[in-house]
Amino acid sequence: MAPRIWPVGVLCRAIAEALEARFNPVAVRGEISGFARASSGHCYFNLKDAQGQIRCAMFRRAASLLDFAPRDGELVEVRGRLGVYEPRGDLQLIVESMGRAGQGALFEQFLQLKAKLEAEGLFDPARKRPLPLLPRGIGVVTSLGAAALHDVVSALQRRVPHIPVVLAPALVQGAAAPGELVKALSNLYRYTQAESAPEADSSQNVTIDLILLVRGGGSLEDLWGFNDEQLARTIAHSPVPVVSGVGHETDFTIADFVADLRAPTPTAAAELAAQPREVWLGALALAGQRLQDAVQRKLDTQAQRLDSAAQRLGRPSGLVARQQWHLGQQAQRLRYAVLSNVEREKARHQALKTDFPSKVSQAIRQRHERLDRAGRGLALLDPQLVLQRGYALLRSAEGLPITRVGQTAEGRSATAILADGEVDLRVLQTRLN
C-alpha cells in the first residue's frame, strides 16, 4: 500500500496538533543559549543540555512578567507548549513562564495533581455552572493586604455598588495559605442560599450567589497555595459558582481548573461577576417605555371602540326630538286639512244659499269638536308628555328598546330615559306577569 501523500503545510499542522495533544503543557529544564530580545519585546533563544537543544520563543506579554534578566549559560526551568513554526517547519517551544532552576519539582507535583483531579472529573466542563446574571451578594477570598483586594473592591464599587460584598480574609502565600483559603471558603458557604447566614450577621441578611477567589501575580512558589488538593475539593463542593482570578493571564493553578470560571486577573474576575448597574438601569428604562407604549396603544384602541359604540347607540333625547318634529308635521297637515274642509263648506254654503243654516252650523260644530278631539288625542301621543307622567323609556346596552322581560336578564345593563335625563341601571331580578 502506497503511503499517504501529505501537503507540506498540512503535515506541519498535523505534527503540531500531535505535539499539542501528547506533550502540552510541558516543563523543560536547560541552559540558555543565544538569548536575544527583539525591538517588539519578544525573546528568542535556545535551551540545551548535553543531549540536545530546542528553539524557544517567549512573546512580549510573558517576557514582561520575568522577575530576572535571563543570560546565556544560565540554567532555567520553563513552562510552555510545544509547536511547529510552520513557515520553516521548525520545532519550537513557546515559553509562557521562566524561572531559575529549582522549580522543576514543584511543577512536577502540579502536573501529577492536575492529572489525578482531571481523571476524577473535577475539571469536567459539564460540571461548570453559569454565573448568576444579578447576584444578591458576592463573596471575596483574598488577603487583606493584597493589591488584588483593592482592585476587586474598586471594580465592584464602580460597576455594581448596590450589590453587598462579604470579605473572607486569608493568607494567599506560604505554607499556611491552603488551610486558610479552605477555611475562608467554608465560612462564605454559610452565607449561600442553602444555609442561613451566621447569627452575628443576621441583621445584614446577606445572601451570596457568587464567590471570587483572587490574588495577584507571582512566581510558581508564590502561587503554590492555590495548587492544594484540599482547596481544589473545597472549590468543587461550593454551593455557588466560584470565579478564580489568581495571578496574571499566563499563570495557571489547580484552583483555576476546578473553578466554574477562570479570569485572567483579579480585576477581570470582578468585572465578570456582574453586569454594570447602568446596563440593568438601561434595560429597565427600555422595558418601562415599552410597557408605557403598550398601555397607551391599548387605551387608544378602547377609546376608539367607545366612540364607535356611542355613534351606533345615539342619544335618546335626539330620538324624542325627531318624534316631536314628525308629530308637529302631522298636526300641521291635519290643521291644513280641517281648514280646507271648512273653507269648502263655507264656499258650498255661500254657493247654495242653503235654507238649512242650522244644519250647517251643527255640521261646523261637529267638525270643530272632531278637530278638538283629534288635537287632544294627538297631544296624548307626544312621548315627552308620557315621560313627564312618570314613565320611562328602557333601552338595552346595545341601544335597542326593551318592551318585554325576555329582552333582558339578571346582571345585564340598561338605560332608563326619563323626562329630564338618563339613568344607568343593572337588572337584579326578572319576573313574568
Per-residue pLDDT of the chain (433 residues; tens, 9 = 90+): 667 777 776 777 777 677 676 667 888 888 888 899 999 899 999 998 888 888 999 999 999 888 888 888 778 888 888 877 777 777 888 899 988 775 556 677 888 899 999 999 999 999 999 999 889 999 999 999 888 899 999 999 888 888 999 999 999 998 899 999 999 999 999 988 644 445 544 435 789 999 999 998 877 778 889 999 999 999 999 999 999 999 887 778 999 999 999 998 999 999 988 776 666 667 677 778 788 878 888 887 887 787 777 666 666 666 677 778 888 888 888 888 878 877 777 777 676 665 556 776 777 888 888 888 887 777 767 777 777 878 888 888 888 898 888 888 888 898 989 888 888 889 888 888 7
CB burial of residue 285 (10 Å; 0-12, 13-18, 19+):
exposed
Angle at 37 between CA 33 and CA 39, to 5 degrees: 160
**Are the beta carbons of 241 and 261 closer than 8 angstroms?**
yes
* pLDDT value at residue 138: 94
* pLDDT value at residue 388: 80
| Rounded Cα distance, 76 and 93, in Å | 14
Helix (H) or strand (E) segment spanning residue 82: strand 75-85
* pLDDT value at residue 4: 75
* pLDDT value at residue 187: 93
Q: Which residues, in sequence order, are bridge partners of residue 215? A: 246
| Rounded Cα distance, 240 and 164, in Å | 16
Handedness of CA 16, 21, 22, 28 (dihedral sign): positive
Give how far the C-alpha of residue 352 lies from the chain's centroid of Cα atoms, to the nearest Å.
104
| DSSP classification of residue 3 | P
332-336 long-range Cβ contacts below 8 angstroms, 24+ apart: 334/371, 334/374, 334/375, 334/378
* pLDDT value at residue 351: 66
**Are the beta carbons of 79 and 26 closer than 8 angstroms?**
yes
Q: How many CB atoms lie within 10 A of CB 422?
A: 15
Q: Which CATH superfamily is domain 125-275 in?
A: Response regulator (3.40.50.2300)
Q: How many CB atoms lie within 10 A of CB 311?
A: 8
| Rounded Cα distance, 312 and 182, in Å | 78
Residue 45 DSSP SS3: strand
Q: What are phi and psi of 155, to 5 degrees?
A: -65, -40
Q: Which residues contact 10 (CB under 8 A, 6 or more apart)?
A: none
**Are the beta carbons of 199 and 191 closer than 8 angstroms?**
no
Q: Which residues contact 53 (CB under 8 A, 6 or more apart)?
A: 30, 33, 46, 47
* pLDDT value at residue 203: 38
The structural architecture, per CATH, of the domain 8-102 is: Beta Barrel (2.40)
**Are the beta carbons of 184 and 170 closer than 8 angstroms?**
yes
| Rounded Cα distance, 40 and 415, in Å | 91
Model's pTM, two decimal places? 0.47
Q: Which residues contact 323 (CB under 8 A, 6 or more apart)?
A: 383
Handedness of CA 64, 68, 72, 73 (dihedral sign): negative
**Are the beta carbons of 211 and 188 closer than 8 angstroms?**
yes
| Rounded Cα distance, 129 and 152, in Å | 21
Question: What does the domain layout of the chain look like in residue ranges?
Answer: 8-102, 125-275, 316-383, 393-426
Residue in this structure with the C-alpha cell 460584598, named with its chain if needed: 165
* pLDDT value at residue 235: 96
* pLDDT value at residue 233: 95
Burial 229-247 (b: 16+ CB within 10 A, else e): eebbebbbebbbbbbbbbb
**Are the beta carbons of 241 and 132 closer than 8 angstroms?**
yes
* pLDDT value at residue 202: 44
